């Protein structure tokens, strides 16, 4: 019989309780709002949008709001030191496009996504939902969200 003390020994150490808790964190608990641009906007306008919205990654969508590309601050900086006129180059020339986009879903493990960000050396992933029309962007998950997750683990012991 279990002792009547309001707790009992699970056979797990403090570390195991910790890792189990962290592994259960999901993307949806930490994701941010996505910022998107149309595929025909200029690189110049995309850079301005990045500053106005204060994000490090933009998602490029077609007329039907379907994901077609990703633009990082690094992509835009690389282009901006080239010889081209930024206001005449459309973003679809320089964006990362399908099938090279790394994506995730709301219910995915936050830690799996954190590992993808590290492996692929990128700052953010689009959070997507597969619909009849194609892949819709519903969120954005970044290294800033991961930093916030770390802080909330330290402060609350969890969210």
- Interface with a copy of itself (CB under 8 A): 12-19, 21-23, 44, 47-48, 50-51, 54, 56, 73-74, 76-78, 80-81, 86, 110-111, 114-115, 117-118, 121, 123, 143-144, 146-151, 153-158
Nearer to a copy of itself, 102 or 144 (CB): 144
Give me the torsion for CA of 71, 33, 125, 131, rounded to 10°: -100
Pick from 158, 140, 137: nearest CA to 149:
158
Query: How far apart are CB 135 and a copy of itself at their closest, in Å?
Result: 24
Query: Which of 56, 126 has the CB closer to a copy of itself?
Result: 56
**Residue closer to a copy of itself (CB basis): 13 or 63:** 13
**Nearest distance from C-beta of residue 70 to a copy of itself, angstroms:** 16
| Nearby residues of 124 by Cβ (< 8 Å), 6 or more positions away | 55, 56, 57, 72, 117, 140, 141, 142, 143
Nearer to a copy of itself, 30 or 59 (CB): 30
Q: Is the omega angle on the peptide bond into residue 102 within 30 degrees of 0, that is, cis?
A: no
């Amino acid at each position: 019989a279990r002792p009547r003390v309001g707790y009992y020994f699970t056979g797990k150490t403090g570390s195991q309780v910790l890792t189990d808790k962290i592994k259960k964190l999901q993307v949806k608990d930490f994701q941010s709002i996505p910022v998107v641009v149309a595929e025909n906007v200029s690189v110049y306008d995309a850079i301005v949008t990045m500053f106005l919205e204060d994000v490090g990654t933009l998602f490029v969508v077609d007329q039907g709001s379907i994901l077609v590309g990703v633009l990082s601050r690094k992509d835009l900086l690389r282009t901006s030191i080239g010889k081209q006129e930024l206001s005449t180059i459309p973003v679809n020339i320089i964006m990362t496009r399908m099938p090279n986009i790394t994506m995730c879903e709301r219910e995915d493990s936050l830690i799996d996504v954190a590992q993808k960000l590290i492996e692929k050396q990128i700052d953010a992933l689009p959070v997507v939902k597969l619909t009849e029309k194609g892949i819709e962007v519903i969120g954005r998950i970044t290294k800033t969200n991961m930093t916030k997750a770390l802080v909330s683990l330290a402060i609350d012991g969890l969210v």
